[in-house]
């Protein structure tokens, strides 16, 4: 109760007590003096009423005074403080001079002013710190993304706290690596544990910083699929008290390097030990032919045949060794995808600035593979030779698409350069390159050659074939398609799940995998199959778009045109794709111990449940349905399709009716639902499951009636 209502109540009680006292006095006089009661009562009433009136008036005046001097100023101060705390820190508390609070209003005003100033300073400091933190996070993310090595940070329970994109590439994992998941889901356990124990032992014995490499341990490991050999280093993350709080591993793929080492050793052995015998035979045959004069023609012919056969074997072996050596050194050359327009424009600028040569870029740009820097040096040198040889100051350059190559053509009017002249230029070294490699070395390391062509139109060409880019062409966005009908299988979502401690955790603290399936039809029990499945992970209320699972599936049956109309997947697209017996265990490994989320989850879950026994997996984790949660939150409408719910929550829709697109839309809806669910009293997994179940129960009763 505020001060003013309390004061009013006290004054009213005081006035009522005064009136009651006067009334009681009149009654007592009337009862005790009955013979004179009426006269005395009249006197008492007159004088008592006057006294009562004066008492009430006094109480009223007292209330007015106390209200203006105390209660009203205190109420103003109270409301002002609330306004400053909760709404406007710059609010000023203004009190009339008619008060008896002394210096309290001025002191409160000064306190509020200092509080507002402190809050502004704190907000500014937080804003600056936030900007600095975001800048540091961006810089760290950039550094981690561009590192050639994979980096993973784990806590002492070997759960992943951070990883970079390179780590995911090196582990050759489609989506199993993820935040708050066990490191041993992706890396072999024992090499990591051995390195970790070595470091913790060093730390316990005080040798952690006592030697040059004491703070890290190297290891050789493999991904869980054993498909690569990884070389890495492990170091501890220490607290201020020098206690381990986690560890960092950095690693790179040494599979190709070790394989190249084995090839190199085999080539050395082939060039020495394996050639020793044929060289010795050849030497012996030639020595006999040169020193023995008594050989008849038949014997001489035999020794000549031996020399011929051995020399032929030696040449064949040397050709094989040279070819494999060429492949070996090519594998170490930095090759990447290049857009021809970038290559050509940089080359044109270089030629223009250095020689005043005009190189015109023509044709459609193409993606190709190569080392951009060495290719620019190569073409720069060759075009310079051509300009001096045939006397030109301008030429065209274009990229032409072939079956397996992209052809770079330098075109000029006039005579072509002879092949012998062209190949004579290739042995000159290139400056500004490591190891002073030659033009021919650049061609060898790109596994290509040069051609000199003469056209019938009076133009000559220098043609350089290069490999096509590894990157796929960008897929176009699918055309808009009608929405998929909604289906309910209430029995699936009413299965009891023993949640235990998991059920009592807050919704935002859980890990989720939001998934979607595309199918051949709408009747899983009648033989329809999955043709695509996709999932995206949510950790701590954040959608991790970098942790996605996406697979096309061969349904081992035809895909009706009516279904293709929804999802756009044709039989040609799933040809040679793995069946569900391969994909579903992969998806189950991606889900791990996360909670599943889907829109109209019963439909998608039915397809998975029917294949559990065949695929050897079990989907027994909790499942949340955004459709049912939408019905729970917005029971005022019957519009609960994915499009309608996305529009209601302001989630943009992209790649609709594709498994990854619908999974991302559903994830966006679910993240925005979390705060609304909490506001409705649904803050834990148990409560969310109960909310969905309540909708299922209502729908079941509706189906009965």
CA dihedral 392, 394, 400, 404 (to 10 degrees): 50
Q: Which of 19-23, 46-50, 142-146, 547-551 has the highest mean pLDDT?
A: 547-551
Q: Which of helix, strand or coil describes residue 245? A: strand
484 belongs to a structural domain? no
Q: Which residues contact 318 (CB under 8 A, 6 or more apart)?
A: 275
CA–CA distances in Å: residue 12 to residues 6, 23, 70, 589, 597 = 10, 16, 17, 74, 62
Q: Are residues 18 and 132 in the same domain?
A: yes
pLDDT digits (tens, 9 = 90+) for 88-117: 666 677 676 666 677 777 787 788 778 778
Higher pLDDT, 541 or 30: 541
Q: Are residues 364 and 344 in the same domain?
A: yes
Mean pLDDT of 522-531: 87
Q: Which of helix, strand or coil describes residue 164? A: coil
Q: Are residues 537 and 437 in the same domain?
A: no
474 belongs to a structural domain? no
pLDDT number for residue 48: 63
CB-count burial class (<10 Å; 0-12, 13-18, 19+) for 56: middle
Q: Are residues 273 and 317 in the same domain?
A: yes
Q: Please determine, for residue 482, whether its predicted confidence score (pLDDT) is greater than 50.
A: no
pLDDT band, residue 38 (cuts 50/70/90): low
pLDDT number for residue 275: 66
Among 146, 169, 199, residue at a domain's last position: 146
480 belongs to a structural domain? no
159 belongs to a structural domain? yes
Mean pLDDT of 54-78: 73
Task: For 481-541, give the DSSP string.
Answer: -PPPPP---HHHHT-----THHHHSBGGGSEEEEEEEEES-S-GGGT--EEEEEEEEEETT
Choose the weakest-confidence range: 72-86, 206-220, 263-277: 263-277
Q: Are residues 130 and 47 in the same domain?
A: yes
Higher pLDDT, 663 or 129: 663
Q: Please determine, for residue 467, whether its predicted confidence score (pLDDT) is greater than 70.
A: yes
pLDDT number for residue 208: 66
Nearest by Cα to 157 from 238, 216, 244, 215: 244
pLDDT band, residue 584 (cuts 50/70/90): very high
Residue count of the chain, please give it: 705
pLDDT digits (tens, 9 = 90+) for 290-345: 666 677 777 777 777 877 787 777 777 776 766 666 655 555 566 777 888 778 88
Mean pLDDT of 163-170: 83
Q: Are residues 232 and 360 in the same domain?
A: no
CATH code, domain carrying 240 = 3.30.450.20
Measured distance between the N- and C-terminal CA atoms of the chain, rounded to whole angstroms: 52
Q: DSSP class of residue 182?
A: B
- How many CA atoms lie within 13 Å of 472's alpha carbon, on the beta-carbon side? 3
Choose the weakest-confidence range: 137-141, 465-469, 503-507, 676-680: 137-141
Q: Are residues 177 and 305 in the same domain?
A: no
Q: Please determine, for residue 628, whether its predicted confidence score (pLDDT) is greater than 80.
A: yes
Q: Are residues 101 and 151 in the same domain?
A: no
Q: Are residues 87 and 161 in the same domain?
A: no
Q: Please determine, for residue 270, whether its predicted confidence score (pLDDT) is greater than 80.
A: no
- Residues 197-235 as b or e (16 or more Cβ within 10 Å = b): eebeebbeeeebeeeeeebbbebebebeeeebbbbbbbb
Residue 453 CA to residue 584 CA, distance in Å, equals 54
pLDDT number for residue 531: 94
Instruction: Provide, rounded to the nearest whole percent, the portion of the chain with pLDDT above 70.
Output: 74
Q: Please determine, for residue 530, whether its predicted confidence score (pLDDT) is greater than 90.
A: yes
* Structure-token match 């000199």, residue found: 452
Higher pLDDT, 2 or 103: 103
Give bridge partners of residue 575 from the DSSP assignment: none
482 belongs to a structural domain? no
* Structure-token match 């039915």, residue found: 606
Q: Could you give the residue numbers annotated as active site?
A: 657
Nearest by Cα to 371 from 330, 403, 431: 330
357 belongs to a structural domain? yes
Higher pLDDT, 237 or 495: 237
Residue 374 CA to residue 432 CA, distance in Å, equals 10
pLDDT number for residue 516: 94
Average pLDDT for the chain: 78
Provide the domain count of the chain: 5
Q: Which residues contact 28 (CB under 8 A, 6 or more apart)?
A: none
Q: Are residues 546 and 693 in the same domain?
A: yes
Write out the two tokens for 554.
């061969």
Containing domain of residue 619, as a range?
490-704
Mean pLDDT of 390-396: 90
CATH code, domain carrying 550 = 3.30.420.10
Residue 204 CA to residue 236 CA, distance in Å, equals 12
Strand 511-519 vs strand 595-598: parallel, antiparallel, or unpaired? Answer: parallel
pLDDT band, residue 141 (cuts 50/70/90): low
pLDDT digits (tens, 9 = 90+) for 214-262: 678 888 888 887 778 888 899 998 887 888 899 999 998 877 666 665 5
Among 404, 432, 467, residue at a domain's last position: 467
Among 203, 238, 253, residue at a domain's last position: 253
599 belongs to a structural domain? yes
Higher pLDDT, 129 or 332: 129
* Structure-token match 């697209």, residue found: 573
Q: Are residues 115 and 231 in the same domain?
A: no
483 belongs to a structural domain? no
Residue 628 CA to residue 599 CA, distance in Å, equals 8
Q: Are residues 243 and 280 in the same domain?
A: no
Model pTM score: 0.48
Q: Return the number of other C-beta atoms located less than 10 Å from residue 450's C-beta.
A: 19
Q: Which residues contact 171 (CB under 8 A, 6 or more apart)?
A: 150, 177, 186, 187, 223, 228
């Amino acid at each position: 109760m505020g001060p003013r209502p309390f004061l009013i109540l006290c004054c009213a009680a005081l006035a009522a007590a005064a009136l009651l006292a006067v009334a009681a006095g009149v009654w007592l006089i009337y009862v005790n003096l009955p013979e004179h009661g009426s006269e005395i009562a009249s006197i008492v009433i007159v004088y008592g009423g006057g006294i009562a009136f004066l008492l009430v008036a006094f109480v009223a005046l007292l209330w007015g005074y106390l209200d203006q001097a105390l209660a009203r100023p205190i109420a103003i101060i109270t409301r002002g403080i609330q306004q400053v705390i909760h709404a406007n820190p710059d609010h000023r508390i203004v009190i009339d001079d008619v008060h008896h609070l002394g210096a309290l209003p001025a002191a409160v005003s000064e306190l509020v002013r200092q509080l507002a100033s402190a809050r502004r300073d704190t907000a500014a400091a937080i804003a600056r710190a936030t900007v600095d933190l975001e800048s540091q996070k961006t810089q760290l993310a950039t550094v981690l993304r561009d590192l050639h090595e994979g980096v993973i940070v784990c806590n002492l329970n070997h759960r992943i706290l951070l990883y970079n994109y390179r780590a995911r590439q090196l582990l050759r994992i489609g989506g199993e690596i993820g935040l708050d998941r066990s490191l041993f889901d992706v890396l072999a356990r024992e090499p990591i544990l051995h390195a970790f124990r070595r470091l913790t032992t060093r730390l316990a014995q005080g040798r952690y910083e006592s030697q040059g490499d004491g703070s890290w341990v190297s290891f050789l490991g493999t991904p869980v699929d054993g498909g690569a050999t990884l070389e890495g280093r492990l170091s501890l993350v220490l607290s201020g008290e020098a206690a381990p709080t986690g560890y960092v591993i950095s690693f790179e793929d040494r599979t190709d390097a070790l394989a190249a080492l084995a090839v190199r050793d085999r080539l050395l052995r082939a060039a020495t030990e394996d050639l020793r015998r044929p060289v010795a035979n050849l030497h012996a045959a030639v020595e006999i032919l040169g020193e023995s004069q008594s050989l008849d023609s038949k014997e001489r012919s035999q020794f000549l045949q031996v020399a011929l056969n051995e020399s032929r074997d030696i040449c064949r072996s040397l050709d094989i060794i040279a070819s494999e050596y060429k492949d070996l050194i090519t594998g170490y050359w930095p090759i990447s995808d290049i857009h021809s327009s970038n290559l050509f424009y940089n080359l044109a600028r270089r030629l223009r600035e250095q020689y005043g040569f005009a190189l015109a870029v023509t044709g459609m740009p193409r993606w190709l593979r190569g080392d951009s820097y060495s290719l620019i040096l190569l073409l720069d040198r060759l075009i310079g030779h051509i300009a001096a040889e045939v006397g030109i100051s301008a030429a065209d350059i274009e990229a032409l698409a072939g079956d397996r190559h992209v052809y770079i053509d330098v075109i000029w009017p006039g005579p072509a350069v002879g092949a012998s002249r062209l190949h004579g230029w290739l042995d000159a070294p290139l400056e500004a390159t490591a190891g002073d490699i030659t033009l021919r070395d650049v061609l060898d390391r790109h596994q290509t050659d040069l051609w000199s062509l003469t056209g019938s139109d009076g133009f000559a060409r220098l043609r350089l074939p290069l490999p096509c880019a590894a990157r796929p062409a960008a897929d176009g966005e699918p055309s808009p398609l009608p929405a998929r009908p909604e289906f309910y299988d209430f029995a699936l979502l009413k299965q009891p799940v023993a949640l235990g401690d998991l059920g009592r955790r807050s919704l935002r603290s859980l890990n989720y995998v939001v998934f979607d399936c595309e199918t051949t039809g709408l009747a899983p029990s009648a033989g329809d199959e999955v043709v695509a499945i996709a999932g995206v992970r949510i950790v701590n209320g954040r959608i991790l778009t970098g942790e996605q699972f996406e697979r096309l599936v061969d349904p081992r049956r035809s895909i009706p045109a009516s279904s293709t109309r929804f999802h756009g997947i044709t039989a040609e697209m799933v040809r040679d794709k793995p069946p569900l017996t391969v994909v579903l265990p992969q998806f189950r490994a991606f889900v791990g111990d996360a909670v599943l989320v889907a829109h109209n989850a019963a439909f998608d879950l039915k397809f998975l449940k029917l294949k559990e026994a065949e695929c050897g997996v079990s989907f027994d984790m909790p499942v949340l349905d955004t459709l049912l949660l939408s019905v729970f939150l917005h029971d005022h409408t019957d519009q609960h399709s994915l499009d309608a719910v996305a529009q209601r929550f302001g989630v943009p829709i992209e790649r609709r009716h594709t498994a990854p697109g619908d999974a991302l839309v559903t994830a966006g809806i679910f993240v925005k639902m979390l705060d609304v669910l909490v506001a409705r009293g649904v803050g834990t997994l148990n409560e969310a499951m109960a909310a969905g179940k309540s909708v299922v129960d209502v729908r079941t009763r509706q189906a009965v009636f």
